[in-house]
Amino acid sequence: MRALKSLPAAIALFSLAGLISAEVIKDFGKERLNSSPRHAEWVDIKSGGHTLKAFVVYPERKDKAPAVLVVSEIFGLTDWVRSLCDELAENGVIAIAPDLHSGQKFEDLDAARKATSALPKEQVKADLDATADYALTKIPSCNGTLAVCGFCWGGGVTFAYANENPKLKAAYSFYGTAPDSADKVKDIACPVYGFYAENDERVDATIPKAEELMKAAGKKYEPVIYKGAGHGFMRSGEPADPAVREGDKEARNEAWARWKKLLAEF
């Protein structure tokens, strides 16, 4: 009988452990956020008939700075994404990341994947437009220059958004699928820089077609594939990630070195 009574508690503990494990990816960026000397804040942005939240981090500099619109992974606006915003600000730019889920919380990562995949493309574009306009018109310390970056799902959105917003001066797509038709690149007005993993054929298989399309359209596209890296290397190569992977860590360092030079140029 004693064993039967303890069974519900054991199940509860097992379930809790599963949830904690599932949330690791979402939570490991908190330490950086809590120790950062840079100013960060949440802002409200009107987008159509609703209001969305966006996380903004400001660099420590005496002059106005360019802004980078940050599009999250398929997991949503996690603590890691916000910590990356802080890292961007550390490198001299204003980082602004909209919460495309309007504050919705997920019990596990699979729920986050499903919710992100279900976001209407029109809504995503409208929310990104509203965030971009906010950065350019409502942030006094912005110098009027705007770029976009995104990771995983957000990397694909980034490439697509470069075709939709002529105000962008650069697009940084991290391991996101690339465009597959001429109409998806014809209006791109800025250079697109791709950051890809060697061990990520699902995404890498889309690169050659995009190179062909961008070249035919007279657009600048510079994809780089990092050896030994797997999908998501900017997160899984993060030293603070409890499950950090060495191959991804090296790729992340190389990608950041490249990205810093590009950020200084735009």
Neighbour-count burial of 133, counting CB atoms closer than 10 A to its CB (0-12 exposed, 13-18 middle, 19+ buried): middle
In the prediction, which pLDDT does 108 show? 85
Which of these ranges, 10-24, 34-48, 204-218, has the smallest mean pLDDT? 10-24
The model's confidence at residue 17, banded by pLDDT at 50, 70 and 90, is very low
pLDDT at 16 > cutoff 90: no
- Positive/negative CA dihedral, 94, 99, 103, 104: negative
The model's confidence at residue 22, banded by pLDDT at 50, 70 and 90, is very low
The model's confidence at residue 153, banded by pLDDT at 50, 70 and 90, is very high
pLDDT at 24 > cutoff 50: no
| Mean pLDDT across the chain | 91
Rounded Cα distance, 239 and 236, in Å:
8
Of 216, 212, 163, 167, nearest to 192 (Cα)? 163
- Length of the chain, please? 266
Whole-model pTM over 0.75: yes
Q: Where are the beta strands (DSSP E) in the chain?
A: 40-47, 50-57, 65-71, 94-98, 142-151, 168-174, 192-199, 221-230
Q: How far apart are the first and last CA of the chain?
A: 69
> What percent of the chain lies above the pLDDT cut of 70?
90
| Exposure of 42 in the CB half-sphere (CA atoms within 13 A) | 8
Rounded Cα distance, 93 and 89, in Å:
5
Asked whether 91 and 263 are in contact (CB, 8 A), the reply is yes
